[in-house]
Chains A and B, each alone.
Chain A
Amino acid sequence: MIEQILTASVFASTIRLATPYILAGLGETFSQRSGVLNLGVDGVMLMGAFFAFYTALITGSAVLGVIAALGVGLILGLATAFISVTLKAEQGISGIGIYLFGLGMSELLFQQWIGTPKSVTGFPDIFIPGLSDIEFLGIGEIFFQHNILVYVAFLLIPLSSFVLNHTTLGLMIRAVGQNPQAADAMGVNVTRVRYATVAFCGVMAALAGASLSIALLKVFQQNLTSGLGFIAVALVYFGRWRPYGILAGALLFSFVNAVQLQISAIGLDVPSEFAVMAPYVITIIALVFASKQTEKPTALTRPFERGE
């Protein structure tokens, strides 16, 4: 039974399904490292997913779909920044508001503009020459036969880690999240840094949504993400605010997803409800284990007030 479940194709879909978790999780990492908890990620993902899908459906171009998603993500990211940085709104509840907005809006536009379930061609799989043919342990199939967004997501991990840990920009982001008063005294513009990270978070969330709607599933439906964005936020706690931690968490969750799909595909006698439930239960357990939170940015969820 085990060899029926742990096939090369399951590991390949583990890699593929990790994409939205990685993209959304990395964006959220930047936002939280600068001290802003962005809980609207799931709503922004849905909006990104819808606009990518709609654009790809109308124009036939997946690239234009991604561009549309990035635009929507930027707008919603800036709106989130305005709400949580400028208006200093309570970040948890306002995030739920953004989630509800994205949930309702993406469904409304889907009903008005598309109506019936359709599918798009989306991004094709790219076989990396030479590497995709490796048959040893199925390495070629597992790692080198994916669509472009999968490669982008995995390349963004070392890049994000480098930016956060080895550049002036990364230092500013971490300083603003750790001790905004001190950063301000050193001449860092706290507001501008937080606007940048929260906007980036929006862009990444929308890209994560696009990766679902035009690269992985190639369909759009109401509540397409079913809470994936919230799991991505939880991943940031689980990954201890580090890009490589996000990678580990994302692979754990996508592995659970892949196994769940495989179990229902081969028709094992496990009630499907428990398989669907698994990622959410694991998230809660992961949050408990990640609860020490010694590396949590000190100023997380705290709006910055000069001269407090």
Chain B
Amino acid sequence: MTSQPHRLAWATALLYRAQGILPLAIALLLALIVASALLLALNASPIEAYSSMLRGAFGTENATAETLVKAIPILFVAIGICIAFRGGVTNIGGEGQMIAGAVAGITVTLALAQAPGIVIIPAAIVAAFVVGALYGGIAGFLKAYFNVNEILSTIMLNQVAVQLMNFLLNGPLLDPAEAGANHIPKTARIAEAAELPRLSFVLPEAVAGIFGTADLFGRTRLHYGLVLAVLLAALTYILLWRTIIGYRIRAVGESERAARYAGIHVKRYMVLSMMLAGGFAGLAGIVQVLGLQYRLQTDGSPAGFTGSAGFNGIVAALFGGLNPLGAVPAAIFFGGLLVGAQKMQRDLEVSASLITAINGLIVVFVVSSQIFTRRITRRQQAALRERPPIPEEASA
């Protein structure tokens, strides 16, 4: 008798998972259909555009590496967004928090220029996390204690951070070698010891043939930020679903009132969710500096440093089902979309800003599809209520 319900529970769990993924797949499909219509309207063949994007994103070893490089900051931001959205705070401030983290991190890195890498890198990363968290915490604090809409405050804080960075890069933090009337706003280069090491995979002979190289990604810009991001995604999954703190964060997000009745300090957890989200965005900022650019620089535009990773991280988190583990493939997907779009722009002369529009559509479709998921859950709950309770079967 015991094996039967167990097998059923497995099947139910699988079905449950499928129900979670299906709306995402449909949302993506709809977005691609709309994008195809757009491409047709612009006199470009959708099939050519998509195949060009696919080749641009994964066609060569270097393309794949560039996709992963692009995915790294998106993933860091997305991990934080998972925490924030699960905790019921809508953090749109990834851009500003990335900048806050990067500014703090580069300041520490440049101050410690003489120290060994084993000191600089952790110090810079901690500084970036803390300052990103504090910057995100502002919006969390204003929401919890002053009832300020966090979407609006984080968007404003993004603009403030961009201007602060521009000010610092044109003055106090400007590369001494660059000082002059027509300088590029950038800091000095970081010490070589502070660089995040490059990441490559030494392949055994048997598989080396398949990839055509024995040292996969050996000559690309891929760096250890990827390992750190994936590791933190796993840790955040554990935090959210296997610890009391995570349980409380999610409880506040599910229902503020129920959480309050359960004795959870709702305001404190709102601030905490926001701070964690800001901290992860801060990591995205410093990893861009230490792993890729080796200095903090911008072209003065709002996305000049971040490359809009603060926004793309939101899209990736939603598309990853607000689960940090789901965010890993989602971030790689959106990284590929961005890198592939560059090739599409060269091949078909269709502007890569198409991707921003598609990202917007994906957000709209994913959020809209939740009505169907909700409806299915409600029907299941109603069915459960009608059935007599089975004492042995756990509800999990």
A binding-site residues for B, Cβ under 8 Å: 39, 43, 83, 87-90, 92-105, 107-108, 111-112, 222-223, 226-227, 230-231, 233-234, 237, 271, 273-274, 276-277, 280-281, 283-284, 287-288, 291-293
Task: Report whether B147 and A293 are in contact in the complex, using a CB–CB cutoff of 8 Å.
Answer: yes
Task: Report whether A108 and B361 are in contact in the complex, using a CB–CB cutoff of 8 Å.
Answer: no
Q: Nearest chain-A residue to B303 (Cβ)?
A: A223
A277 contacts which of B146, B159, B358, B360 (Cβ < 8 Å)? B159
Which chain B positions have C-beta within 8 A of A101? 356-357, 360-361, 364
Which chain A positions have C-beta within 8 A of B355? 104
Which chain B positions have C-beta within 8 A of A87? 368, 371
A92 contacts which of B147, B151, B163, B170 (Cβ < 8 Å)? B151
Interface residues on B, range: 35 or more
Which chain B positions have C-beta within 8 A of A292? 147
Known: A101-B357, A104-B357, A108-B357. A284 touches B363 (CB 8 A): no
Task: Report whether B152 and A276 are in contact in the complex, using a CB–CB cutoff of 8 Å.
Answer: no
B155 at the interface (CB under 8 A from A): yes
Q: Nearest chain-B residue to A227 (Cβ)?
A: B159
Task: Report whether A83 and B157 are in contact in the complex, using a CB–CB cutoff of 8 Å.
Answer: no
Known: A93-B367, A96-B363, A112-B350. A230 touches B156 (CB 8 A): yes
Which chain B positions have C-beta within 8 A of A230? 152, 155-156
B147-161 residues with Cβ-Cβ distance < 8 A to A are 147-149, 151-153, 155-157, 159-160
B353 at the interface (CB under 8 A from A): yes
Kindly state the separation between the CA atoms of A105 and B35 in the bound complex, as whole angstroms. 11
Kindly state the separation between the CA atoms of A227 and B148 in the bound complex, as whole angstroms. 18
* 30 A-B pairs in the complex with CB atoms less than 8 angstroms apart: A83-B367, A88-B371, A90-B370, A92-B90, A93-B90, A93-B318, A93-B367, A96-B363, A98-B364, A100-B315, A102-B360, A104-B354, A107-B351, A107-B353, A107-B356, A108-B38, A108-B350, A108-B353, A108-B354, A108-B356, A111-B353, A112-B42, A231-B156, A271-B167, A273-B163, A273-B167, A287-B148, A288-B142, A291-B148, A293-B147
Taken residue by residue from 184 to 199, chain B's Cβ proximity to chain A (1 for < 8 Å, 0 otherwise) reads as 0000000000000000
Which chain A positions have C-beta within 8 A of B334? none
* In the complex, number of A-B residue pairs with CB atoms less than 8 Å apart: 146
Task: Report whether A99 and B151 are in contact in the complex, using a CB–CB cutoff of 8 Å.
Answer: no
Which chain A positions have C-beta within 8 A of B167? 271, 273-274
Shortest beta-carbon distance from A66 to chain B in Å: 23
B359 at the interface (CB under 8 A from A): yes
Kindly state the separation between the CA atoms of A94 and B370 in the bound complex, as whole angstroms. 11
Shortest beta-carbon distance from B281 to chain A in Å: 15
Pairs of residues from A and B, 4 with the lowest C-beta to C-beta distance, nearest first? A104-B356, A97-B363, A101-B360, A100-B360
Task: Report whether A227 and B155 are in contact in the complex, using a CB–CB cutoff of 8 Å.
Answer: yes
Known: A97-B363, A104-B357, A226-B159. A284 touches B370 (CB 8 A): no
Kindly state the separation between the CA atoms of A92 and B370 in the bound complex, as whole angstroms. 14
B302 at the interface (CB under 8 A from A): yes
Kindly state the separation between the CA atoms of A103 and B163 in the bound complex, as whole angstroms. 20
Task: Report whether A93 and B363 are in contact in the complex, using a CB–CB cutoff of 8 Å.
Answer: yes
Task: Report whether A100 and B42 are in contact in the complex, using a CB–CB cutoff of 8 Å.
Answer: no
Which chain B positions have C-beta within 8 A of A287? 142, 146, 148-149, 152-153
Task: Report whether A89 and B367 are in contact in the complex, using a CB–CB cutoff of 8 Å.
Answer: yes
Kindly state the separation between the CA atoms of A43 and B302 in the bound complex, as whole angstroms. 16
Kindly state the separation between the CA atoms of A107 and B152 in the bound complex, as whole angstroms. 23
